[in-house]
Chains A and B, each alone.
Chain A
């Protein structure tokens, strides 16, 4: 008889970083991440979604570009930093690249912990740092043509809060 596979989460928590063109199923991702870990009491989730409007212009689609290699390295470093600040079980970051249409999902962050405070804080921290440290760039298609999205000062300010 084969021994049941022990989910990595039971062994102390997993950090999973994925960059992909395909969409993701939030429910399936959470189920797989949690595994059967009975120590998890909180799961915080953030989903970033593509809007049809940005800076006053209609957006019909966007194309997300990244720096392969550095992206995974930067996201791994951000996750490691979160673990030094809060007591966490699992961290999952899935970020899509390529062509994305309004209403489609762009990014997923899931954090599991014993209690909600740690999961909420870590989830927000991960997104704030991702927005300013991970090498992704958005190009939007608008009626006036394609344009690169400019970084926002408010994103820098959000990341600065955690220093």
Chain B
């Protein structure tokens, strides 16, 4: 099971702030999970699609597309940060 979180614009557009997902077969990294989410179509395909800046964190550390995703991880997706 993955705990997947969405923040800021992504949360507004995707209509949820969190969900639990059984680790999909074949998903081993952040890019794989993003591809799997995009395949839901509709806003998932556009908001997470090409031309959109999406950042990810795995277990509360900034992640890259090839950062591994394992069962039990907390994965967050969000736009580039704008604090300060």
Q: Chain B, 61-83, contact with A by CB distance < 8 Å: what is the 0/1 string?
A: 11000000000000010111111
Query: What class of interface size applies to chain B in its complex with A?
Result: 10 to 19
**Which residues of chain A (99-154) have a CB below 8 Å from chain B?**
106-107, 127, 130-139, 148-151
Closest-by-CB residue of B relative to A77 is B61
**Chain B CB within 8 A of A94 CB:** no
**Chain A CB within 8 A of B27 CB:** no
Across the interface, do B57 and A135 meet the contact criterion of CB distance under 8 Å?
Answer: yes
Closest-by-CB residue of A relative to B60 is A70
Contacts of A70 in B (CB 8 A): 57, 60-61, 76
Cβ-defined partner of A137 (8 Å) among B5, B60, B62, B83: B83
In the complex, what distance in Å separates the CA atom of A83 from the CA atom of B60?
21
**Chain A CB within 8 A of B7 CB:** yes
Interface stretch, picked from A26-34, A37-45, A60-68, is: A60-68
A134-B76 contact, Cβ under 8 Å, with A70-B60, A74-B62, A148-B8: no
A131-B81 contact, Cβ under 8 Å, with A73-B61, A74-B62: yes
Q: How far is the CB of B38 from chain A (nearest CB, A)?
A: 20
Central interface residue in B5, B12, B79, B84, by most chain A CB within 10 Å = B84
Across the interface, do B60 and A64 meet the contact criterion of CB distance under 8 Å?
Answer: no
Q: List the interface of chain A (C-beta within 8 A of B).
A: 48, 64-67, 69-70, 73-74, 95, 106-107, 127, 130-139, 148-151, 155
